[in-house]
Chain A
């Protein structure tokens, strides 16, 4: 069996990487261990909790359950890629801050990526859309209320043409 390393090319947060990895490496391990991007978290390793959510080619996926080989040639966005390089938070990050939408913060990167992807896809999500699309992100600290309020505030600002 030849399980030797393979080379992949992947763009992460706008930067191109060429990495040599073992095929069994997951996208989560690639991000955290190889690229030092520890913002994406490992919480259940069971494809259940969504803390490891990142965006691959505009789709929210759980990095613990995607082989790194499968993002060869693709574009990945992690929580580190949401704010601008010179320190301007994204609209959702601002909303999370304003609405105290996090507590311990361990699941927050995953929540941010899921809601970022959802808001890119849906112009005007309803309450039900938001709750359903956020189902994949488990949170134990907040009870979800302020988190949902943060997302709804962004939707409202959109409606009002403020953003």
Chain B
């Protein structure tokens, strides 16, 4: 690794001030589970790191019936995985977190750091997007809230300004008659994801007609991909196997995956079909019971 200057912020305000000062040469360090690998491989060489890992003020999980869930950006993956509150009200997040990397990474890595690293195969982003997440970005100049689906712009690239810090993730209260299913496909259980999907299905109360649906995929585009046309095909319909299968095919056609050592683009599309079909079916079954 190359040398760098190091600051440990003792408050969010101090962190904002430091990153404002060093925005051209510095990076914010949270758990470092993405950042340190990049530093070691010399893919980035900031000359200054501002360590915010110690900021307790950004480490929380809070829920309010009206406004919903707020997760501090420095909440670890493990805390989300194990949170009784999240297991009860947003269990798809807890399920998804179980498959993020390994326990060791989840113990130290943060949700905020994960989102900022903008890895196109990242797990949390699709699940959060399908739940309607927003994020709060703060800087010395002020703060703004943006929809998470608008946060990612390209491979490993977000709209975050060099002097901004991701401070909070906000989720609306769980929608009634709704279930969310997360599914991934990898060659090895703990292996690199070839494709993953998060599907939310809302049914009309007391019926088996789909009122609303949202499908978000990862690893099939530079950013988490919302397959809007596929979701549209589900709305207002009874979700029979045929309907789901057609929507899954549509979802595949909306993706534009690449070929790499793990899978070809064509195969990824085939897996999209299967995963979306299976996840939608499961979400639908769960939503009917909800």
Contacts and interface: CB of A to CB of B under 8 A. Distances in A.
A–B direct touch in complex (beta carbons closer than 8 A): yes
A26 interface: yes
Contact of B105 (A3, A45, A136): A136
A135 interface: yes
Given A1-B3, A1-B4, A24-B4, A47 B108 contact: no
B145 interface: no
Given A24-B2, A66-B108, A69-B8, A1 B47 contact: yes
Contact of A114 (B29, B103, B189): B103
Interface stretch (B30-38, B85-93, B197-205): B30-38
Interface in B31-49: 32-33, 36-37, 39-40, 47-49
A136 B101 contact: yes
A109 interface: no
A34 interface: no
B2 A70 contact: no
A128 to B, nearest CB: 10
Interface in A42-79: 45-47, 50, 53, 56, 59-62, 64-67, 69-70, 72
A98 to B, nearest CB: 25
A23 B103 contact: no
A23 B47 CA distance: 11
Contacts of A61: 104, 107-108
Contacts of A53: 104
B138 to A, nearest CB: 22
A48 B2 CA distance: 21
Contacts of B190: 135
Contacts, number: 88
A135 B102 contact: yes
Q: Is the interface of B mostly helix, strand, loop or mixed?
A: mixed
A133 B105 CA distance: 11
A6 interface: yes
Contact of A65 (B8, B36, B51, B103): B36
A132 interface: yes
Nearest to B76: A59
A62 B2 CA distance: 20
A159 interface: no
A26 B5 contact: no
Given A1-B48, A26-B36, A70 B104 contact: no
Interface string A1-41: 11100100000000000000011101000000000000000
Interface string B81-100: 00000000000000000100
B51 A70 contact: yes
A66 B3 contact: no
Contacts of B48: 1
Interface string B1-41: 11111101000000000000000010001001100110110
Nearest to A1: B47
B49 A50 contact: no
A1 B5 contact: yes
Shortest beta-carbon contacts, A-B, top 4: A136-B102, A23-B6, A3-B3, A59-B107
Interface of A: 1-3, 6, 22-24, 26, 45-47, 50, 53, 56, 59-62, 64-67, 69-70, 72, 114, 117-118, 132-133, 135-137
